[in-house]
A and B are shown apart, each in its own frame.
Chain A
Amino acid sequence: MLRDTRLIFVRDMKLALRSPTWLLIGIMQPLLYLFLFGPLMVSVVDHTPGFPPGGAWEVLTPALIVQTALFSGSFAGVALLTEYRVGVVDRFRGTPASRAALLFGKVLAQAVQATAQSVLIVLVTLLVFDLDASLTGLLLSLAIAAVLAIALSSASYALAMVLKSEAAFPALMNAVLLPLLLLSGVLLPVSEQLAPGWLYNLARINPLTHVVDAERAAFRGDMSATGLLTGSLVLLVMAVLALMWGTRTFRKENA
C-alpha cells in the first residue's frame, strides 16, 4: 500500500509541477489580501482592543495560510471529478492497487501543494512586510496547514465521490465554505471583546476557529498558548475522521 501511495503521489505531483498554474491561482487571493487589505489591518489592529497578540501581519498572515489550505484542499474534489469523468478513476480502481492508497497518494500531493503555497505566502510577507516570526513557529504553522489540507482534501474527495456531480460539487463547496470562513475569524477574529455573545459561541463550535487560533499561536511562536494545543487536537481529530470517511468511500465496491 505504501508503494501504491507513492506511485499515485508521484503521478499527481508530476502533473502539478508540469502546469504550475494551481500555485499561482492558489496564492493570488492571499496576495491580494496581503497587499490590498493588510495595510488597513495595521491601523485597525493598533486601535482596536480584542485582537489576538501580535501585530497586523502576525494576525493576518497565519489566517491567510489557513484560508489558502482550506480552499485548495476543499476544491481538490473538483479535479477528482474530472478524472472520474474521463475514466481515470475507474482505470485505477480496476487495478489490484489498494484503493486506500489511491486516496492517500492524492491527499499527500494536496498537502505538499498547500505547504508550497503557504511557504510562498510567508516568503512574501517576510520580504515585503514587517513580519516578526520565529523559525520553529513558522515550521509549526506550515505543518498545521499541511494537516489541514490533508483533512479537507480527504473530505473533499469523499464528498465528490458521493455526489458525483461536477456541477453540484463546487456549488455546495462555496455554500459551505463562506459561513465556515466567516465564523472562523479568519479576517477579523471573532473574539469575546469584538463579537456579540451568540456569534462568539457559534464561532467556538466551528472547528476551523480553533485551527485558526492554533495557527496564529504557532505563527507568533507562542508555544504555551492553550489555543495551540486545543486547535492541534481539533485538527488531528478532523484529519482522522476525514481520512476514515475518504477510505470508506474509496473502498466502496460501487463508488
Chain B
Amino acid sequence: MASPDEPRATAGIPAGRRESAARLPGREKDFMITVRGLARRFTVRGQSVEAVKGIDFDVAPGEVVGFLGPNGAGKTTTLRMLTTLLRPTGGTGTVAGCDLLTDPQGVRRRIGCVHQGGATWPESRVAEEIELQARLYGLSRSEARRRGALLAERLDLAGLDQRPVKTLSGGQRRRLDIALGLVHEPTLVFLDEPTTGLDPQSRANLWDHVRRLRSEQATTVFLTTHYLDEADALCDRILVTDHGTIVAEGTPDALKARVAGDAITIEVTDQVAEAADVAGRLTGATEVSVDGDTVRFRVPRGDAALPELLRTLDGRGITMASVKVNRPTLDDVFLSLTGRSLRDGDPAPRTTEAAHAA
C-alpha cells in the first residue's frame, strides 16, 4: 500500500510519533497471516490422524495465495483453523493482526470466509441472507441493505433479491457464498475450493471476481484448490501441499521452472525402441520412457529440439503418427515433488488440461 500520498500524509506528524507509529505493529503485523508449526490431529475411533503436520508460512497484504493439493491434503482443516472454526492441536498463528489462539474474536471480525460446499440455507431469500450476514458483523440494517445491493450488483446477483436460495444455479449460489464472505468488507478473505463443481463459464466468471477483489480493493485472498489451472491463473504465490505438509512454495512460474524442461510425446507406428534411442540422443534429453507405441521424454527446449528429432526419425525411416510438445505444468511440479499426479486416476492428464482451459 505504498501510495504517492504517503509522505504528505505523515509530514504533519512529529518525528517521534511517526517513528513509534511505524514501529508499533510487531513483525507479524507486516503480514496478513503468519503461521508457525500449525498442526491438527483428529482422533477417530482411537485412531489418530495427522491432518495438518506443523506447517509454516506467511502471507503479505494484498497477495493472492493458493493452497494447492489433492483431496485429503489438509487444505480445509488448515482453513478451518485459520478462520477460528477449529482449534489447532499445535503451533501458533496471527491472522489479520490478531492471535489465532488468544483473540479468535478479533480474527473473526477482520476476515471473511467462504467455505467449501457453501453455507446458504435453501429456504432463505438471497437479500435476506446477505442482510443477516452483514448484521451479524454489526452493521446497521440500512448499511447492510446498501452493501448487499452493491455486492449483488458486483457479483451478478442483481434482480435475485427475493429468490429462495434453492432456486439459484450452482454459479449463482457460489457467488452468493462469496457475497456473504465479503459483505463486511474484510481485508482478508478465505476461499475454500471456490470453483469446485462449477461449469467452466461460471468458473471463469468467478475468477474474474477474485481478480477484481485484489485489483480494486487490495483484498488479501487465501484460497485452496485442487485445480492446477485455477492456482496457475489466479495466484501470485502457491503453497503446494500434500499429506498435511507444504512440499513447495513459490510463484507459478518459479515452481514450473523447477521442472527440467518441456515434455515431448511422440507416437510411432513401429520401431518404438529405435525411436526412444533417437530421442535419448537429443541434446539434454532426460526421463525417456516407452509405453506401447508412445515415447515420452523431456528436453530443455521442445521447440528447438523438434526439427532435429523429425529429421533423424525420418532419416532412419521411422514413421511418426503424432507429436506433442507440452510446457511444464503445475502437475509436473507436483509429480516431480511427490511422485504422484494431482489428478487422481486420470489416464491422460495433459489432454484434460486442454479441456479444462477451454
Contacts and interface: CB of A to CB of B under 8 A. Distances in A.
Please indicate whether A and B come from the same complex rather than being unrelated chains. yes
Interface of A: 4, 7, 11, 14-15, 18-19, 83, 86-88, 90-97, 253-254
A137 B84 CA distance: 48
B168 to A, nearest CB: 13
B159 interface: no
Given A90-B119, A94-B85, 4 more contacts: A90-B115, A91-B115, A96-B109, A254-B87
Contact of A94 (B83, B128, B138): B83
Contacts of A14: 128
B127 interface: no
A7 B85 contact: no
Given A96-B108, A96-B109, A7 B132 contact: yes
Contacts of B117: 86-87
Given A7-B132, A87-B115, A254-B87, A95 B137 contact: yes
Interface of B: 83-87, 104-105, 108-109, 113, 115, 117-124, 128, 132-133, 135-138, 180
A95 B184 CA distance: 10
A19 B125 CA distance: 13
B328 to A, nearest CB: 37
B86 A254 contact: yes
B118 A87 contact: yes
A93 B136 contact: no
A96 B123 contact: no
Given A87-B115, A90-B115, A254-B87, A96 B136 contact: yes
Given A19-B123, A86-B121, A86-B122, A91 B133 contact: yes
A11 B125 CA distance: 11
Given A7-B132, A11-B132, A254-B86, A96 B120 contact: no
Contacts of A94: 83-85, 108, 113, 115
Nearest to A16: B123
A83 B124 CA distance: 12
A102 to B, nearest CB: 9
Contact of A96 (B85, B118, B138): B138
Contacts of B118: 86-87
16 contacts: A4-B136, A7-B132, A15-B121, A19-B123, A86-B120, A87-B115, A88-B119, A90-B115, A90-B119, A91-B119, A94-B108, A95-B108, A96-B136, A96-B138, A97-B136, A253-B87
A49 B137 CA distance: 61
A19 to B, nearest CB: 7
A7 B122 CA distance: 18
A86 B123 CA distance: 12
A18 B123 contact: yes
Contact of B105 (A83, A88, A91, A96): A96
A3 to B, nearest CB: 8
Contacts of A86: 117-122
A191 B54 CA distance: 63
A14 to B, nearest CB: 7
A93 B115 CA distance: 12
A18 B128 CA distance: 13
Contacts of A4: 136
Instruction: Report the 9 A-B pairs with minimum CB-CB distance, sorted nearest first.
Output: A87-B119, A91-B119, A95-B136, A97-B136, A253-B87, A96-B109, A96-B108, A88-B121, A94-B113
Contacts of B108: 94-96
Nearest to A252: B87
A7 B140 CA distance: 12
A7 B123 contact: no
Contacts of B135: 7
Given A95-B137, A96-B108, A96-B137, A90 B120 contact: no
Contacts of A92: 136
Nearest to B108: A96
B179 to A, nearest CB: 12
A70 B135 CA distance: 32
Which of A11, A15, A92, A93 is the most central at the interface, judged by chain B CB atoms within 10 Å of its CB? A11
A187 B53 CA distance: 58
Nearest to A91: B119
Contacts of A90: 85, 115, 119
A29 to B, nearest CB: 24
Contacts of A91: 115, 119-120, 133, 180
Nearest to A4: B136
Contacts of B137: 95-97
Contacts of A96: 105, 108-109, 136-138
Contacts of B85: 90, 93-94
Contacts of A253: 84, 86-87, 104
A4 B133 CA distance: 11
Q: Which of B86, B115, B128, B136 has the most CB of A within 10 A?
A: B136
Contacts of B84: 94, 253
A91 to B, nearest CB: 4
A83 B119 CA distance: 9
Contacts of B115: 87, 90-91, 94
A10 B295 CA distance: 66
Contacts of B83: 94
B59 to A, nearest CB: 18
Nearest to B80: A90
Contacts of A18: 123
Contacts of B113: 94
Contacts of B180: 91
A253 B83 CA distance: 11
